[in-house]
Structure 1
Amino acid sequence: MDPTPRLELPADLPADLVLPSTVEGTAVHELVIKKSRFIARATHVESVEEADAVVAAVRKELWDARHSCVALVVGQRADRQRSSDDGEPSGTAGVPMLEVLRHRGLTDVVVVVTRYFGGVLLGAGGLVRAYSSSVSEVLDRATVVAREPRVEVVLETDHASAGRLENVLREWCHVHRAVFATPAYGTGVELAVLLRPRDLASYDQLVASETAGGAVPVVRGWQVSDIPA
């Protein structure tokens, strides 16, 4: 019979929570279509206000361009979305760009595609394809970061046992893609780990085995962590 679990997941952690991914830093890519230059820039942001600042900076830098079209998705659940055609025919730039972000399952990202007109009209269909391709290709070059919930579990131990336990826990974290936090030293030693919800029971069993059941870790809460793909 399996031992009775000593730890429970935080009550406010939704079951089977799946979060959109994001991008790291900024990626830039240029596409030339019928002499028009499309310069795409995908940037990680944490808010709509930060996205607006990125857009303003791009438009200031590339002030002589005819259009700088925008698509952005922000929020843990990708619930804040916006787009702009910036003077292109309605529906030919911002919305197609936004659809690419949705299809990729991304959030906390703003994409600006700046167009320098090359003298050849592309037509509505050509513009849709050009702006969509610009976003797709810059995202192909971006570093995508997965987002997953992580449960914070804290173990209190004495100084004499801390070194051995730290080595054991670090090895377990490496195997289970968990994060071992910097130990906190006081009258005792606090060892904290950020782990995937499904690994909670395994971690609890490890601690019980290594301490002969004498130490019981405590679930402190949960947070969203970025995990490089």
Structure 2
Amino acid sequence: MECYHTVYTEGTGEIVEKKSRFIAEVFPVSNEEEAFAHLEEIRKKHWDARHHCWAYVIGRNPAAERMSDDGEPAGTAGKPILEVLRGKKLTDVFVVVTRYFGGTLLGTGGLVRAYT
């Protein structure tokens, strides 16, 4: 019997860093189409947000992985999200972090910490 870790249901969380608001949403998914359907819903719901950065891990041995920085500096958003999923050894999961810019630049280190 194969054993793996995933999420049971959708979830959300939020942090504020130097007036920028980061809203994370997690979804169980079984394919890329489901992930992108959730992304479109989030883009409609948070139409006025600056960024919708995301990552997913689908399947096992080998897993399909993708990520997007959605306009943030390269490697500061999608990659940290994906690294969290890898570190927790999760699969069949999609995470989107929506950012409302607060007017203060966070720098690359600040962005990586916030998206992580």
The TM tier, using the shorter chain, reads: over 0.9
AA aligned to 1:68 is H
CA distances 1:105-153 after superposition (whole Å, capped 9, x unpaired): 0000000000000011000010000000xxxxxxxxxxxxxxxxxxxxx
Higher helix proportion (structure 1 or 2): 1
- In the alignment, what sits opposite 2:66? 82
The secondary structure found in structure 2 opposite 1:49 is: helix
CA offset at residue 57 of structure 1? Answer: 0.8
| 1:60-75 matches, cutoff 5 A | 60-75=44-59
Does 1:21 find its partner at 2:5?
A: yes
Counterpart of 1:96 (choices 80, 85, 92) is 80
Larger radius of gyration: 1
The secondary structure found in structure 1 opposite 2:30 is: coil
Taking the aligned partners of 1:41 and 1:78, their CA distance within structure 2 comes to 24
- In the alignment, what sits opposite 1:116? 100
Q: Is the 8 A contact 1:39 1:115 kept in 2?
A: yes
Taking the aligned partners of 1:20 and 1:77, their CA distance within structure 2 comes to 11
CA distances 1:34-66 after superposition (whole Å, capped 9, x unpaired): 100000001111111111111111111101000
AA aligned to 1:109 is V
CA distances 1:185-213 after superposition (whole Å, capped 9, x unpaired): xxxxxxxxxxxxxxxxxxxxxxxxxxxxx
Q: Is the 8 A contact 1:78 1:108 kept in 2?
A: no
Greater CA drift, 77-86 or 94-103: 77-86
The secondary structure found in structure 2 opposite 1:105 is: coil
- In the alignment, what sits opposite 1:199? none
Structure 1 residues 61 and 78: CA distance shift in structure 2, 3 A = farther
Counterpart of 2:28 (choices 33, 44, 47) is 44
Structure 1 unaligned segments of length 5 or more: list them.
Answer: 1-12, 133-229
AA aligned to 2:115 is Y
| 1:189-208 matches, cutoff 5 A | none
Structure 1 segments, 4+ long, off by >6 Å, are none
The TM-score, its normalising length taken from structure 2, stands at: 0.95
CA distances 1:155-188 after superposition (whole Å, capped 9, x unpaired): xxxxxxxxxxxxxxxxxxxxxxxxxxxxxxxxxx
Taking the aligned partners of 1:127 and 1:57, their CA distance within structure 2 comes to 24
Taking the aligned partners of 1:127 and 1:30, their CA distance within structure 2 comes to 14
Same amino acid, percent of matched pairs: 58
Structure 2 unaligned segments of length 5 or more: list them.
Answer: none
Aligned length: 116
- In the alignment, what sits opposite 1:33? 17
Q: Is the 8 A contact 1:78 1:107 kept in 2?
A: no
Which gives a bigger RCO, structure 1 or 2 (Cα 8 Å, sep 6+)? Answer: 2
